[in-house]
Amino acid sequence: MNSTDRIFLPKGFQFSAVTAGIKASGRPDLALIAAGPSTQAAAVFTKNLVVAAPLEVARTSLESTGGRVRAVVVNSGNANCATGPAGLRGCKEVCVQMGKLLKVKAAEVFPSSTGIIGVPFPTEKVVSYLQALLAGAGSSIDDFRRFANAILTTDTRAKVASAALPSVSACVTGVAKGSGMIHPQLATMLVYVMTDVAASATELHQSLREACDESFNVISVDGDTSTNDTVLLLASGESGIRLRVVRNEFRAALSEVCRSLAHQIVSDGEGVQHVIRLHVEEAKTRTEALQIARSIAHSLLVKTAWAGADPNWGRILAAAGRSGVRLDPKKISVVIGDQTVCKASVACDFDARRAHNHLSQPECSIRVRLGRGKAAIEFLTTDLTSDYVRINADYST
């Protein structure tokens, strides 16, 4: 089953979106998930020390409620980061007001923001649209898609993924935004995954960390870790199925949804022409494989070579060599597509045209073999194009 082909909506969730005028473009920029009374939640946040106000509020709220969430309020167009005490007050005020409308505690409202850093948070504007936001909530696929679109910023398309559990009537469905500032450290920009399975916050947290490790933690667009990264997993319990009864298939579904969303985020990376499936193999540990993958994926020279579909494996070797892992350069091999281009750190006789053609595809594969052990990782990353520079060099203030 391809997780983007069909969307299953878990029981117990409603969605909405409105235009509150935060984005200059006039596109929808305020969105809501309303969740049923039994909903439990787990979240992981950015590891950046500079964190946005909503992350501070959400972290505290989740602790105080023991993982109870009744609503998620997301605005796009303003990150509410580096906005000081006023930004923090504004974020709390949004939670208080949405809590009143829903007749739940303010701490049961999970806030999120994404957009530009350092611009004052438009509290009054957001608060004045909360009632309309709630009034428009519904549980159709269209409502879900309205939510998915309203949380986007530089993204060119919405990112959704869904998986039904095979043996029971329950599902896992996720929605994400993210295109630049993508180098998640335990989380990516904004990701909301919902299920109607019944689970405790602790069970959810463990499942979520595992799923993140093999999805959002092994992707990179530009090596910049955001201040607002959030992955939230909500379980309404309304299917009546306990997670522990379907543990394996739940984990498989959650993993599938997270991996699909991670892939969609990378594919929609700013200015991306090629998605690279970078396999680092024969490492001693998964950790060192990840360290080498990140060093390669963050090299400007490697990323620009990929933009030209250039099989310049010397740059890959150089990037591996400065990763900090004490590898033996004489044991490294590089495989582009189905051709070994470098063996024991020396050039092989390979068909450069075929390698170029492989790298010209929208998605291509590069394997770096270290000759040190049996650990491996698949890391998803991208080329670096002039379009990325253009998108991010536009004078924004």
Active site residues: 188
Q: Least separation, in Å, of the C-beta of 338 and a copy of itself?
A: 17
| Short-list 296, 221, 215, CA closest to 259 | 215
CA distances from 142 to 30, 37, 232, 397 (A): 16, 23, 21, 35
Q: Which of residues 142-161 bind a copy of itself (CB under 8 A)?
A: none
Q: Least separation, in Å, of the C-beta of 52 and a copy of itself?
A: 10
Residue number with CB closer to a copy of itself (101 or 186): 186
CA distances from 120 to 26, 75, 82, 170 (A): 18, 13, 9, 41
Among 201, 235, 366, 384, binds a copy of itself (CB under 8 A): 384
SS3 per-residue string spanning the chain: CCCCCCCCCCCCEEEEEECCCCCCCCCCCEEEEEECCCCEEEEEECCCCCCCHHHHHHHHHHHHHCCECCEEEEEEEECCCCCHHHHHHHHHHHHHHHHHHHCCCHHHEEEEEEEECCCCCCHHHHHHCHHHHHHCCECCHHHHHHHHHHCCCCCCCCEEEEEECCCCCCEEEEEEECCCCCCCCCCCCEEEEEECCECCHHHHHHHHHHHHHCCHHHEECCCCCCCCCEEEEEECCCCCCEHHHHHHHHHHHHHHHHHHHHHHHHHCCCCCCCEEEEEEEEECCHHHHHHHHHHHHCCHHHHHHHHCCCCCHHHHHHHHHCCCCCCCHHHCEEEECCEEEEECCEECCCCHHHHHHHHCCCEEEEEEECCCCCEEEEEEEECCCHHHHHHHHCCCC
Q: Which of residues 320-339 bind a copy of itself (CB under 8 A)?
A: 320-322, 326-327, 329, 332
| Short-list 182, 94, 159, 158, CA closest to 131 | 94
Among 38, 131, 169, 386, binds a copy of itself (CB under 8 A): 386
Q: Least separation, in Å, of the C-beta of 347 and a copy of itself?
A: 5
Among 19, 154, 345, 357, binds a copy of itself (CB under 8 A): 345
Rounded Cα–Cα distance for residues 243 and 249 (Å): 9
Which one of 65-73, 230-238, 274-282, 294-302 is the stretch in contact with a copy of itself (CB under 8 A)?
294-302
Which one of 8-16, 41-49, 124-132, 363-371 is the stretch in contact with a copy of itself (CB under 8 A)?
41-49
Q: Least separation, in Å, of the C-beta of 321 and a copy of itself?
A: 3
Among 69, 257, 342, 380, binds a copy of itself (CB under 8 A): 342
Under the binding rule (CB under 8 A), the answer on residue 113 touching a copy of itself is: no
Which one of 62-70, 105-113, 132-140, 319-327 is the stretch in contact with a copy of itself (CB under 8 A)?
319-327
For a copy of itself (CB under 8 A), the number of binding residues is 70
Under the binding rule (CB under 8 A), the answer on residue 351 touching a copy of itself is: no
Under the binding rule (CB under 8 A), the answer on residue 117 touching a copy of itself is: yes
Q: Least separation, in Å, of the C-beta of 258 and a copy of itself?
A: 22
Residue number with CB closer to a copy of itself (206 or 340): 340
- Amino acid at site 286: R
Q: Least separation, in Å, of the C-beta of 376 and a copy of itself?
A: 20
Among 10, 28, 180, 269, binds a copy of itself (CB under 8 A): 180
Under the binding rule (CB under 8 A), the answer on residue 266 touching a copy of itself is: no
Among 37, 66, 118, 373, binds a copy of itself (CB under 8 A): 118
Contact between 219 and 380 (Cβ < 8 Å): yes
Among 21, 36, 99, 223, binds a copy of itself (CB under 8 A): 223
Under the binding rule (CB under 8 A), the answer on residue 219 touching a copy of itself is: no
Q: Least separation, in Å, of the C-beta of 381 and a copy of itself?
A: 12
Among 41, 79, 235, 265, binds a copy of itself (CB under 8 A): 79
Residues that bind a copy of itself (CB under 8 A): 47-51, 79, 81-84, 116-120, 180-181, 185, 222-227, 298-301, 304-305, 307-315, 317-322, 326-327, 329, 332, 342, 344-347, 352, 355-356, 384-386, 388-397
